[in-house]
Structure 1
Amino acid sequence: MSPHSEKTFPSSMSSAMFLLILCKIGLREKLQTTSEKMVNSSLSDEEKGIQDKESKEESILAMLGIIGTILNLVVIIFVYIYTTL
């Protein structure tokens, strides 16, 4: 092997490398532009209170949905047992 010999890649490998480099460059540019657009937004106390109230309501509704599902399953089991006897 001579010191001047270079590795040769198949054409599909070189085109794949080219596409990866293009994607990397595009991603870098996109990240730079989005970081410039980022704005520090702080919520006021009123908005935080509203969000806390909404999250509490959502958690209550989720709990009621879970309880209702469990009760429906219990009823289905009892009806199945009753009808098979």
Structure 2
Amino acid sequence: MPTSSGKTPPTRMSNVLLLLMLCKTGARSKRQPSPGTMVNTVYNDEERGIQDKESKEESILAMLGIIGTILNLLVIIFVYIYTTL
């Protein structure tokens, strides 16, 4: 609300400045790197390496599970044959 001299009160002016500062920082955070700038990909490489390691571990565990199942079936067959003789 303007005073009789035509100037805005200091509280309203500080609110406007605060709003402008917030808009300015919001615009900075939305900026995307341009194609010419360098981007740090170390985190992505590390993450990919961890995923590859986990995938390898999972495939080894799956293979061990299959081998264990086959061996259990062979034991069951031999025990059945032995007990029926």
Q: TM-score under structure 2 normalisation?
A: 0.50
Higher relative contact order (CA 8 A, sep 6+): 2
The structure that is helix-richer by fraction is 1
Q: TM-score under structure 1 normalisation?
A: 0.50
